[in-house]
Amino acid sequence: MRILNSGSVNNDHVCRADHSAGKGETIVVIGSLNMDFVVQVEKLPMPGETLCGERFQMIPGGKGANQACAVGRLNGNGKMVGRVGEDVFGEQLLKSLQSAGVDTSKVLKTSNAATGVALIFVQKGGQNQIVIAPGANGQLTPQDVQAATGSIEGGYLLMQLESPDETVETAASIGRARGMTTILDPAPVRPLSSGLVKNIDIITPNETEALRLIGRSAGDVPLAEAPQIAQRLRELGPKTVILKMGEKGAWLVNDRFNRHFPAFKVEAVDATAAGDTFNGALAVALADGKPMDEAINFANCAAAISVTRLGAQASIPTRQEVDAMLRSGKVTASCGKISSAMPPISN
């Protein structure tokens, strides 16, 4: 869903479900729902600098909701757990997820807090700056998570760090106790408690997050250093580390693999929800029974398509689009322009 500054609604990229494949094991997403206020700019502002922006849009987002939307659009069996305010933004966020086929019955409405918002500047080439006001997201409690997960056993649990620390830690503990595969996107990055990491099966940081988690300054990670950094993250507790490296692809370290997965080469427009798309797609592929290497290829493909479009949930591809790109190695015309096609990947 896109709500333009004129007040009209553009439904070109509402999170609609695609029923071409999928619907494997249950995927529970516990996390944030935000309305994104997006301004396109020629360059990102420096401290104290005022810039004249270009196009403005309001687009459904929030890391939790983005990952749930990706699960839905890729035809996974998704359930969202979170909080919104009793306002128009909360209603729009729920409608977007429902259009994707996501179960939103466990998203609670909060009377004393507004729906969370994110202020996003996007420059040409896709780089961005984001500031979040959590609102109702900050009131998601461990008790909410316990009530929402009910009798769920098995499946997959997606988490991020836009919810309170205690809530995320409780969610991971519940997931481990119920035999779920727990997947943590450690963003926004902050130190991880031992109580959390001991219950994480898969951690998926980007380069900046990975460096911060091992006590180094933020920056880029050369491919040559990726194996060592991923291994250091694995020593924190998670069994599997997937280092998301943008246009360089992804690096996997677990008991079976220590290897690189190249990215699909596309013409990037906006990278806002690429990592969220990757995580949602990874969970869908694993829930469908794909092995880890095929699941990462699937996730890389979905993320590549997402960066060819502006916005968070507005950018997430359908299952049909991802499967078509995996077969052909090319982004379809509706997805964007490809600058260098990869060889076809079997899935």
CA torsion, ordered 238, 244, 250, 255, to nearest 10 deg: 0
Residue pair 314/270 in contact (Cβ under 8 Å)? The answer is: no
For residue 18, the model assigns a pLDDT of: 52
- Which residues have CB under 8 Å from 51's CB, separation 6+? 41, 42, 43, 45
Q: How do the domains of the chain map onto residue ranges? A: 9-340
Instruction: Check 144, 185, 201, 276 and give the catalytic one.
Output: 276
For residue 21, the model assigns a pLDDT of: 58
- How far is residue 224's CA from residue 221's CA, in Å, rounded to a whole number? 8
For residue 330, the model assigns a pLDDT of: 67
CA torsion, ordered 59, 64, 69, 74, to nearest 10 deg: 140
Instruction: For residue 332, give both structure tokens.
Output: 């379809």
- How far is residue 136's CA from residue 143's CA, in Å, rounded to a whole number? 15
**pLDDT tens digits along 219-239:** 899 999 999 999 999 999 999
What is the full DSSP assignment across 314-330?
Answer: GGPPPHHHHHHHHHHSS
**pLDDT tens digits along 92-118:** 999 999 999 999 999 999 999 999 999
159 — pLDDT class (breaks 50, 70, 90): very high
Q: How far is CA 200 from CA 4, 89, 182, 204, in A?
A: 39, 32, 5, 11
For residue 338, the model assigns a pLDDT of: 33
* 276 classed as catalytic: yes
Domain 9-340 superfamily per CATH: Ribokinase (3.40.1190.20)
In this predicted structure, the answer to whether residue 10 has a pLDDT above a threshold of 60 is no
For residue 11, the model assigns a pLDDT of: 37
Does the predicted model carry a pTM greater than 0.95?
no
